[in-house]
Chain A
Amino acid sequence: MRILITLAWRTLWRRTGRTLLTASGVALGLGFLLVMLGLGDGSHLQMIDATVRMGSGHVLLQAPGYQRRRGVEMVVAESTAKRVMTWAQSRSGTAAVLPRALVSALLSSADGASGVSLFGVDPAAEAPMSRFPARVRDGRFLQPADRNAAVVGSGVARLLKARVGSRVVAMAQGARGSEVRSALFQVVGILHTGLDEVDQSLVLLPLRAAQEFLELQGGVHQVALVLDDQARSIARAREARLAFPELETLTWAQADPQLESAIRMDDGGHYLFNGIFFVIIGFMVLSTLLMSVLERRRELTLLGALGFSPSRRLAMVLVEALMLAVLAITAGLALGLGVHAYFRSHGLPLAWFTDRGMETAGVLLDPIMYSYLSAGRIVGSAALVLALTLLLSLVAARHAARPIDVNLLK
């Protein structure tokens, strides 16, 4: 065995150029695969994250039927809401528990009026989680001490000619009875996300103010749970359904099927791309290995004449291929992980491709894509490339095991 290994190693380095060429091809392939996977997974996580923080959380609890109808009177009572929040906070892996009140309302100033979506949120819980504080263009985000502060989208502000400090009056249907409720708010911040649907209709209020305004009596419309690990969403939702059968529980994918579609379509595209990739790499590896074997017919025949059995010759080629693969994969991992590390900390600016914001499934894509690779992905990719290489080398090695042709010795 040792002879085989030594022989194989020396053979590899006899043709330094060729070896390096093939190895670098495979290495590049693996590296590229890792980068693509990383950016792909990274951008998906970002999209999920964006939706989760902008709206549904990873798991959403609300009154039954609320997803469909969103009636202001469909309230989760205060006591139930408290129980939900306590329960959620006691589970491990909970990053945040966000109670929310929502209603469609009319917001008016002395200069104009506009239909808006009011979100009553808990500033203390929401601020560290939400992406909105970072998008406040003028003024500030909501703070726990706020009573009747409002943060409005830039489009809303424009229509109402509102600035930081402006008075605005909100009018909406209350939860009890059919009378119209109105309340005064003061603009403390103006938000700009670049997404029209948000900027032209979003208004954020302190939860308590919204509850009072809508006569919710301490109740809320939604409790959103943000988890540490997105992958636990389904499990957590299941637990929530068991614990609170009287409420409607949704995962982010159920709350936002469009987003899920977008991610799956993106995934599909990636599988296609990576599939093609593998074909090309495979082709290349096979051609290289085959050629390598073919050109060494004389040498292999010699070895055969010297007493190397067909199986030994086969083994030698395989060991060679294995070494090459290991070399290439190491290089590929180094390359891929290196680039991934850069994209993980610095990100890839979308500005390379487009100079405006990009929207898909109602979520504004982050202007910078960050890479994310799980251990599973890394090991899986390397394993796949290794398996492919070995499989193809088996095909090539068959040639090595052919009976010797003495003519070649001449």
Chain B
Amino acid sequence: MAVSLLLGHLTLSGSFSLAATVDAKAIVDRVDRLLRGESSEGELTMSVVTRRWTRTLTMKLWSEGTEKALIKVTAPPKEAGTATLKSGDDIWNYLPKIDRTIRVPTSMMMASWMGSHFTNDDLVKESRLIRDYDIEIAFDGVRDEVPLWQFVLTPRREAAVVWGKIIMQVRQNDLMPIWARYYGDDGELKRTLTFLNLRVMGGRLVPTTLTVVPSDKPDESTVIQYSKLRFDIRLPPDTFTLAALKR
């Protein structure tokens, strides 16, 4: 944390030519972990709009580091109790109606998570950007009176990610992300992540609204809205267990 703040100061002074790539990496990593911290607890709503239906779910979320997360649906009543546990590369879903816990097999990794525009794989791979990508600064300047950077993330040689590149726009003043665009290796834009509604929650400035829009279906979207967030709290040791799914 301290390191990234320090780097943030360096950036503000404008002299990043020396350690530009290190800067970029730290900033991107910070963006990636913005909503996680060392651990977190929060509440959110997820609204999914597709051509055929619209759904809104209210959920509670706990996370630890980048490898453990537990998400429970609290509303609507029909879906309340449904829960997802992520631990490392594995995902389990608990379905209250049939009282069963099912591990998501490899064959379903690219299937949508809870009907949203995120896949199970997205859940697994989040917060690993600096591990999987090389980062360069493509633009450093002012747009619409806002000083910002544009980072280009290209996958590392052996990184098992499908994106050809990711372009991220980050504000220089507060290191807040503006948007992230995901491209296939054919150079086509595949989806856009937008960060909105900056608020202070749990002692940090964070974007509280995330939207995902797929490029092939621009009238569809998934919007995540955080209503509550706490960071770096101590969570009970059995929070991320299969038993916890059912509670």
Answer yes or no: A and B touching, Cβ < 8 Å.
yes
B88 contacts which chain A residues (CB < 8 A)? 179
- CB pair B106 A171 closer than 8 Å: yes
CB distance from A161 to the nearest CB of B (A): 8
B90 contacts which chain A residues (CB < 8 A)? 178-180
B182 contacts which chain A residues (CB < 8 A)? 110
- CB pair A165 B158 closer than 8 Å: no
By beta carbon, the residue of chain B nearest A115 is B107
- CB pair A167 B155 closer than 8 Å: yes
CB distance from B154 to the nearest CB of A (A): 11
Known: A110-B183, A110-B185. A169 touches B160 (CB 8 A): yes
- CB pair A110 B164 closer than 8 Å: yes
B94-125 near A? 1/0 per residue, CB < 8 Å: 00000000000011011000000000010000
CA distance A48 to B109 in the complex (A): 38
CA distance A106 to B162 in the complex (A): 12
CB distance from A76 to the nearest CB of B (A): 23
- CB pair A106 B107 closer than 8 Å: yes
A167 contacts which chain B residues (CB < 8 A)? 155, 161-162, 164, 185
CA distance A148 to B160 in the complex (A): 11
- CB pair B162 A109 closer than 8 Å: yes
Q: State whether the Cβ of B230 lies closer than 8 Å to any Cβ in chain A.
A: no
Chain A, interface residues (CB within 8 Å), range: 20 to 34
CA distance A178 to B160 in the complex (A): 18
CA distance A109 to B121 in the complex (A): 12
By beta carbon, the residue of chain B nearest A168 is B162
A227 contacts which chain B residues (CB < 8 A)? none
Name the residue in B88, B109, B162 with the highest tally of chain A Cβ atoms < 10 Å from its Cβ.
B162
* Dominant secondary structure of chain A at its interface with chain B: strand
- CB pair B110 A113 closer than 8 Å: yes
Q: State whether the Cβ of A163 lies closer than 8 Å to any Cβ in chain B.
A: yes
B195 contacts which chain A residues (CB < 8 A)? none
B107 contacts which chain A residues (CB < 8 A)? 106, 115
By beta carbon, the residue of chain B nearest A103 is B106
A171 contacts which chain B residues (CB < 8 A)? 106, 109, 121, 160
CB distance from A40 to the nearest CB of B (A): 42
By beta carbon, the residue of chain A nearest B191 is A110
B159 contacts which chain A residues (CB < 8 A)? 184
Q: State whether the Cβ of A111 lies closer than 8 Å to any Cβ in chain B.
A: yes
Q: State whether the Cβ of B92 lies closer than 8 Å to any Cβ in chain A.
A: no
CA distance A165 to B164 in the complex (A): 11
Q: State whether the Cβ of A182 lies closer than 8 Å to any Cβ in chain B.
A: yes
Q: State whether the Cβ of B126 lies closer than 8 Å to any Cβ in chain A.
A: no
CA distance A169 to B161 in the complex (A): 6
B127-166 near A? 1/0 per residue, CB < 8 Å: 0000000000000000000000000000100111111100
Q: State whether the Cβ of A173 lies closer than 8 Å to any Cβ in chain B.
A: yes
Q: State whether the Cβ of A183 lies closer than 8 Å to any Cβ in chain B.
A: yes
A148 contacts which chain B residues (CB < 8 A)? 158
By beta carbon, the residue of chain A nearest B108 is A106
CB distance from A376 to the nearest CB of B (A): 50
Q: State whether the Cβ of A172 lies closer than 8 Å to any Cβ in chain B.
A: yes
CB distance from B69 to the nearest CB of A (A): 16
- CB pair A169 B162 closer than 8 Å: yes
- CB pair B190 A106 closer than 8 Å: no
A139-175 near B? 1/0 per residue, CB < 8 Å: 0000000001000000000000101011111111100
By beta carbon, the residue of chain B nearest A187 is B185
Known: A169-B161, A183-B160. A110 touches B106 (CB 8 A): no
CA distance A353 to B244 in the complex (A): 65
- CB pair A166 B109 closer than 8 Å: no
Q: State whether the Cβ of A108 lies closer than 8 Å to any Cβ in chain B.
A: yes
- CB pair B158 A111 closer than 8 Å: no
A113 contacts which chain B residues (CB < 8 A)? 109-110
- CB pair B106 A173 closer than 8 Å: yes
- CB pair B184 A110 closer than 8 Å: yes
B172-188 near A? 1/0 per residue, CB < 8 Å: 00000000001111100
A169 contacts which chain B residues (CB < 8 A)? 160-162
Known: A105-B106, A106-B110. A184 touches B161 (CB 8 A): yes
CA distance A182 to B161 in the complex (A): 9
CB distance from A34 to the nearest CB of B (A): 52
By beta carbon, the residue of chain B nearest A111 is B184
Q: State whether the Cβ of B89 lies closer than 8 Å to any Cβ in chain A.
A: yes
- CB pair B162 A180 closer than 8 Å: no
A112 contacts which chain B residues (CB < 8 A)? 110
CA distance A110 to B191 in the complex (A): 10
CB distance from A123 to the nearest CB of B (A): 19
CB distance from B89 to the nearest CB of A (A): 5
CB distance from B207 to the nearest CB of A (A): 24
Name the residue in A110, A111, A173, A178 with the highest tally of chain B Cβ atoms < 10 Å from its Cβ.
A110
Query: For residues 61 through 75 of chain A, which have their beta carbon under 8 Å from a beta carbon of chain B?
Result: none
A106 contacts which chain B residues (CB < 8 A)? 106-107, 109-110
By beta carbon, the residue of chain B nearest A165 is B185
- CB pair B186 A166 closer than 8 Å: yes
A184 contacts which chain B residues (CB < 8 A)? 155, 158-161
By beta carbon, the residue of chain A nearest B190 is A110
CA distance A361 to B89 in the complex (A): 39
B155 contacts which chain A residues (CB < 8 A)? 167, 184
Interface residues of A (CB under 8 A from B): 105-106, 108-113, 115, 148, 161, 163, 165-173, 178-180, 182-184
- 7 A-B pairs closest in CB distance: A110-B184, A113-B110, A182-B160, A167-B185, A184-B160, A110-B162, A169-B160
Interface residues of B (CB under 8 A from A): 88-90, 106-107, 109-110, 121, 155, 158-164, 182-186, 190
**Additional A-B contact list (11), CB under 8 Å, known A105-B106, A171-B160, A180-B89:** A106-B110, A108-B162, A112-B110, A113-B109, A166-B186, A167-B161, A167-B162, A180-B106, A182-B89, A183-B158, A184-B155
Task: Show 13 residue pairs from A and B whose CB-CB distance is below 8 angstroms, ordered by the A residue.
Answer: A105-B106, A109-B162, A110-B163, A110-B164, A110-B184, A110-B190, A166-B185, A167-B155, A169-B160, A172-B106, A180-B90, A180-B106, A183-B158
